[in-house]
Structure formats: structure tokens, C-alpha cells
């Protein structure tokens, strides 16, 4: 699938084919845009509402890259005591922060089993869930 790297309005435009044929930079696929490190990238399914204030909602697909350097303030997927969580990393204070004031930060203690699985580099919102995403695997 080719992606058109131009801003598009939500109105109707009958000249889409003409526009698409005039931009040479359309050579990128969705894989190239969302997963430049394909071998080190995985896709997860967001669950819950703790990250809603940064625009990450329940049911969104999240693209997680294991190859990028982890920085303070990144949105990450981590394994905390056997549970996968998606939170903002507060490395300086040793905490995981939700993007909703309804949830308190989680302090990572010495007794916790913690590993960062990767950085969330992007997300995809599904407006119509397909049957394959309703599997018990998610």
C-alpha cells in the first residue's frame, strides 16, 4: 500500500488520482513509515483508558520499536511484575506515569521485576474493528 504524504481535508476531492500521480515521494509503504526497524518492531493492542490524555485509547494499535534509544518521557511498553503496561517513563524519578490524572504514578521498587520492552513510536486508531482483532489473543 502506498501512502500519500500530504495533508488532506475531510472534504471530498475528485482529483485524488491526479494528486497521487504528481508526488514522487509516494514510494513509501506503511511498513517503511511505521516500522523502519521491522525486525525489532511489534504491534500491540492498547487496553484501558490510562493513556487517553495523550490520544492513546482502548483498542488502538500501538507500534513498539525495541531498537530505538529509550529516553526520559518516552511512551513505553514495559513488563512490570509479569504484566505488560503502556506508560510514560519517568526515568529520573524511577516511575511509570499514566496520561490520565485518574491514575497515580507507579514507583518502580527494587523488589519489582521490570523490563522495558520498547518505545511506542506511533499508534493507529481503528474506527471499525475487524473480526481478527476480536480474538482472545488480544
Q: Residue 134: its pLDDT value, please?
A: 57
Give the whole-angstrom CA distance, residue 131 versus residue 20.
31
Catalytic residue among 7, 28, 87, 100: 87
100 belongs to the catalytic site: no
pLDDT band at 135 (very low <50, low <70, confident <90, very high): low
50 belongs to the catalytic site: yes
In CATH terms, the superfamily for domain 37-134 is Umud Fragment, subunit A (2.10.109.10)
Q: Residue 1: its pLDDT value, please?
A: 40
**What pTM was estimated for this model as a whole?**
0.75
Q: Which run of H or E residues covers position 19?
A: helix 16-21
Integer CA distances (angstroms), 54 to 17, 24, 73, 97, 99, in order = 34, 33, 12, 12, 6
Q: What is the pLDDT of residues 59-99, one digit of tens each?
A: 999 999 999 999 999 999 999 999 999 999 999 999 999 99
Catalytic residue among 50, 92, 122, 136: 50
Is the model's pLDDT at 133 over the cut of 80?
Answer: no
Q: Residue 138: its pLDDT value, please?
A: 44
Domain ranges of the chain: 1-34, 37-134
Q: What is the pLDDT of residues 10-42, one digit of tens each?
A: 444 444 454 444 545 557 777 777 788 888 999
Amino acid at each position: 500500500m502506498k501512502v500519500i504524504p500530504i495533508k488532506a481535508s475531510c472534504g471530498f476531492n475528485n482529483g485524488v488520482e491526479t494528486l497521487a500521480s504528481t508526488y514522487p515521494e509516494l514510494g513509501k509503504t506503511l511498513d517503511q513509515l511505521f516500522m523502519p526497524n521491522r525486525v525489532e518492531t511489534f504491534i500491540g493492542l492498547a487496553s484501558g483508558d490510562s493513556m487517553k490524555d495523550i490520544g492513546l485509547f482502548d483498542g488502538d494499535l500501538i507500534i513498539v520499536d525495541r531498537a530505538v534509544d529509550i529516553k526520559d518521557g518516552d511512551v513505553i511498553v514495559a513488563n512490570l511484575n509479569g504484566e505488560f503496561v503502556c506508560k510514560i517513563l519517568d526515568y529520573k524519578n524511577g516511575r511509570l506515569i499514566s496520561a490520565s490524572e485518574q491514575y497515580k504514578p507507579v514507583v518502580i521498587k527494587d523488589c519489582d521485576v521490570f523490563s522495558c520492552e520498547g518505545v511506542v513510536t506511533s499508534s493507529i486508531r481503528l474506527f471499525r474493528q475487524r473480526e481478527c482483532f476480536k480474538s482472545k489473543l488480544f
